[in-house]
């Protein structure tokens, strides 16, 4: 493996580790009172429904693009597209999952002071 490729993989691993640490810190924060948790649950439900609908549509279009890539460009392009599409979807799902859970925690921290909300 070349030095450049090693650097790319190391940067990716470090980015994932940083994200995991930040997520763990965030998830330890208070979720506020019952009303805040109720609103947060409704937001999470809506975000989940939105994401399912979007991924269904994107998945159908993606299948067409995958088939076209396979026949027009080749098997390696199709495999690359499939891997990229899957990882992009996983990143989008993880981002939505974390962000909707972060909202209520940030709101609770901000209710204790602007600095606390911004620090979280």
pLDDT by position in tens, the chain (length 120): 678 889 999 999 999 999 999 999 999 988 889 999 999 999 999 999 999 999 999 999 999 999 999 999 999 999 999 999 999 999 999 999 999 899 999 989 988 888 888 887
State the first-to-last Cα distance of the chain, in angstroms, to the nearest integer: 39
pLDDT at res. 1: 64
CB neighbourhood size of 2 (10 A): 7
Specify if 112 maps to a domain.
yes
Site of tokens 């909707």: 100
Let me know if residue 94 belongs to a domain. Answer: yes
In a domain, 13, yes or no: no
Residue 2 has a pLDDT of 79
Kindly state whether residue 7 falls inside one of the protein's structural domains.
Answer: no
Mark residue 16 as left, alpha or beta (left: phi above 0; alpha: psi -120 to 50; beta: remaining).
alpha
In a domain, 23, yes or no: no
Domain count for the chain, please give it: 1
Q: Which domain does 73 fall in, by range?
A: 31-119
Q: Establish if 59 belongs to a structural domain.
A: yes
Containing 42, the helix (H) or strand (E) segment is helix 34-72
Domain membership flag for residue 55 = yes
């Amino acid at each position: 493996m070349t030095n450049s490729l090693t650097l790319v993989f190391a940067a990716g691993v470090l980015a994932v580790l940083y994200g995991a640490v930040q997520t763990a810190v965030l998830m330890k924060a208070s979720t506020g009172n019952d009303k805040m948790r109720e609103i947060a649950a409704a937001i999470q439900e809506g975000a989940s429904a939105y994401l399912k609908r979007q991924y269904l549509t994107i998945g159908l279009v993606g299948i067409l693009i995958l088939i076209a890539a396979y026949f027009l460009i080749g098997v390696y392009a199709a495999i690359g597209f499939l891997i990229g599409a899957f990882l992009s979807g996983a990143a989008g799902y993880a981002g939505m999952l974390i962000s909707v859970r972060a909202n209520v925690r940030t709101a609770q921290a901000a209710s204790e002071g602007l600095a606390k909300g911004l620090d979280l």
